[in-house]
Structure 1
């Protein structure tokens, strides 16, 4: 248990480090032509593998906690126009990719991807299969709202090759779901899991803590219900209250939002239940069965992370993203599409890529990214191991990150890390505050004037 004094000390606004640099550093000087150049250069960079991300922004109703780029609509004509543009974008970008490279990961995010009917899903997947090479080991994942799943829909997802499904539960308490405007599952979760497992697909259950009416006791009850269903992974996201970005989140304030000490109690209590049930703690917020790929990767210290979440180095690829607001993560650049659906569709119709902003990485960014990824994913940092991956020396890496061992001493005193000249290790207590630890290796944070959510 982390005491309140420590919570207050470390509950600071810091990046989530889903990417490095964070998306707040993207700029509008980065254009479509810059992206095309970066895509062509990416064919000669590592990793050679390809990850594809498809952003489906549509939701049939707005969840008040949502921080994603979504569009509330049931207009099927708009859906069809969007799908036409998405397929055309895939074709345009594929012309610049070495298609002998293997696709190791396909991820559908949103929004609510299963707001589309299966004929529409089939059309998009057929376009991917037409251009790219996949195999039996390719992870094909979709984020789903269980309120819209049927047995027929599940069967068709399996037949189309989907083998990992993330179910956005958020909470099992219907009072809490009502307060955040989230519909409950259409079928018992255990039934959904069994249907997917019958087709050899893995299932994640996703939860959010820090919502109105949640207490440590109620959240733990939801986690215990999840454990009974025995999914492959359970994910517990800390609610990020950013009403200056997402104004609809202000609606939650009328029912009260739990403070950082309550949120930490929720997380600790849920975490304890999962660990006692045999789940392995992965990174900040994931828990996986011991035989799951993420647990094996953590044991082997080969865990990785991108905008889509934690993955293994075997499934990691440079990410080519499609759809409104989608972010590509290449070795040498980040590129984000416009967040406006009409502008997205119009650009594609005109044969242009709808890039809104991006960022060109340099050697320093790549080096810092490797360090922060290692800390965030594998809870350790061996300077020489990371340096050898990017053809640097340990001393060069320390210089690039602006590392000062004196900054680690307060964290060591608070039992968050142990360290020597060769290696830094994050303690069990330190995992709760991993963003604070990662921030020590971020030279841009010292000069950045950006707004971030708090760490707890």
Structure 2
């Protein structure tokens, strides 16, 4: 047994499955997206949604000074900070392009700066980027602005500048505090730096500090994981994202730099997760969804408790905007009825924007069935339950219900033909439960042996 979970169950459900930050998932999307069609959809959806809810912005800032070998993000490694000005100029050119498609001033409700390492950029350059966007926008009274910070290079000046620009939430990439684990993943980050960065954010007035931790990294074991978690809990972050390490060496070449024999086994990885979940629970953190924990005082917990938690490409959020505009290399936009992803290399991204055309290279336009099943997946990942719509019953009976029968037999869900409820055991297998509504995964098993997704555990 693995902390109360049958190891046979762990092995059974340790399958390559999406994390469902979108549906349909990225591998289903089409390359060579019709850019004119995307512009028209964006324009139409903006006109419908802006006044109702406002929009969300995701700005991808890809530069890092060194390579963390575990990382699967789109990044560019350089110590040359002169790249900042050119990148900001292009991302603002892209913003201007979208601004011309908008029928009115955008009401910005949410901004997230991700990377890469956003705090690679100087406070001055971040301020210029954001102030230029603000100058022709309306900032919603209930906005939520957040940034991903590196504990080693997030300065007091960064924090004060961002606070003055309306940011109140910061997420620090901690991953693991053990020196041996840090050495093998090439992320040397003394715990004192994490403490200092956290203290500085709180002194300046940030109301929500998140720590990203990863379980399943090479050389991790129960003793090391326990120490890392206890050190982090002592700093009392408001939120903790406890991510499963996604081993995808076929797309992230840096992951080939360490020996796979140093990775925990599937059983060991589940034990690490259960250890973390137990320690978080004992110290006042609530399990609010897929790998995320929050204190009762945090807005994320309140949103989960009150049933209005939302999930998008930025992860879990309290803002339920129907339009997310992604700016920068590899960024993804979600217009509610369509997805579009930007070019994945800086060279191609610059070339498209400088040619005054959207930098999107692939995407997907959703049909009615996609939209309905997307809602089922969002409901399960955000609320641990969903209600079935009668117009989808034929497809549900054909594709989803046979899978639900198996999940119920293993005690992961309770369901009938009207609704579904995730059980406490099932909350350890949310990705698997969501996959019961992934029609593309169910209908197309021909590429099941082709590596696409990381494993669920």
Q: CA deviation at 1:255?
A: 5.9
Cross-structure match for 1:75: 80
Q: CA deviation at 1:160?
A: 2.2
From 246, 253, 259, the equivalent of 1:240 is: 246
SS of residue in 2 equivalent to 1:76: coil
SS of residue in 1 equivalent to 2:79: coil
Cross-structure match for 1:193: 198
From 116, 135, 144, the equivalent of 1:130 is: 135
Cross-structure match for 1:36: 39
Cross-structure match for 2:408: 412
Q: CA deviation at 1:429?
A: 1.2
Q: Distance in 2 between matches of 1:155 and 1:404?
A: 50
Q: Distance in 2 between matches of 1:360 and 1:406?
A: 28
Does the aligned pair in 2 maintain the 1:99–1:131 contact within 8 Å? no
Partner deviation per Cα, 1:131-157 (whole Å, 9 max, x = no partner) = 221134211111111111222322222
Q: Distance in 2 between matches of 1:380 and 1:123?
A: 43
1:91 and 2:86 equivalent? Answer: no
1:209 and 2:215 equivalent? Answer: yes
Q: Distance in 2 between matches of 1:110 and 1:142?
A: 9
Q: Distance in 1 between matches of 2:302 and 2:103?
A: 31
Q: Distance in 2 between matches of 1:21 and 1:182?
A: 33
Cross-structure match for 2:121: 116
From 63, 67, 75, the equivalent of 2:68 is: 63
1:310 and 2:316 equivalent? Answer: yes
Does the aligned pair in 2 maintain the 1:52–1:105 contact within 8 Å? yes
Does the aligned pair in 2 maintain the 1:58–1:113 contact within 8 Å? yes
Deviates more, 1:292-301 or 1:265-274: 292-301
Q: CA deviation at 1:44?
A: 4.3
Number of positions where the alignment pairs a residue of Structure 1 with one of Structure 2: 445
Cross-structure match for 1:398: 393
Partner deviation per Cα, 1:294-347 (whole Å, 9 max, x = no partner) = 2112112221100101012x4434110000000101111111111111221122
Deviates more, 1:257-266 or 1:315-324: 315-324
Distance 1:236 1:295, change over 3 A: same
From 275, 281, 298, the equivalent of 2:304 is: 298
Q: CA deviation at 1:400?
A: 4.2
Distance 1:100 1:152, change over 3 A: closer
Partner deviation per Cα, 1:161-190 (whole Å, 9 max, x = no partner) = 211100000011121111100130585433
Ranges in structure 2 where 5+ consecutive residues have no aligned partner:
none
SS of residue in 1 equivalent to 2:453: coil
Partner deviation per Cα, 1:369-420 (whole Å, 9 max, x = no partner) = 111110111111123xxxxxxxxxx211333444554432332222111123
Cross-structure match for 2:443: 447
Taking structure 1 as the reference length, the TM-score comes to: 0.93
Does the aligned pair in 1 maintain the 2:54–2:140 contact within 8 Å? no
Distance 1:71 1:397, change over 3 A: same
Q: Cα RMSD between the aligned structures?
A: 1.8
Taking structure 2 as the reference length, the TM-score comes to: 0.93
Ranges in structure 1 where 5+ consecutive residues have no aligned partner:
384-393
1:225 and 2:231 equivalent? Answer: yes
Q: Distance in 1 between matches of 2:64 and 2:209?
A: 21
Does the aligned pair in 2 maintain the 1:147–1:186 contact within 8 Å? no
Distance 1:276 1:359, change over 3 A: same
1:369 and 2:374 equivalent? Answer: yes
1:269 and 2:275 equivalent? Answer: yes
Q: Distance in 2 between matches of 1:282 and 1:128?
A: 33
1:340 and 2:335 equivalent? Answer: no
Does the aligned pair in 2 maintain the 1:81–1:345 contact within 8 Å? no
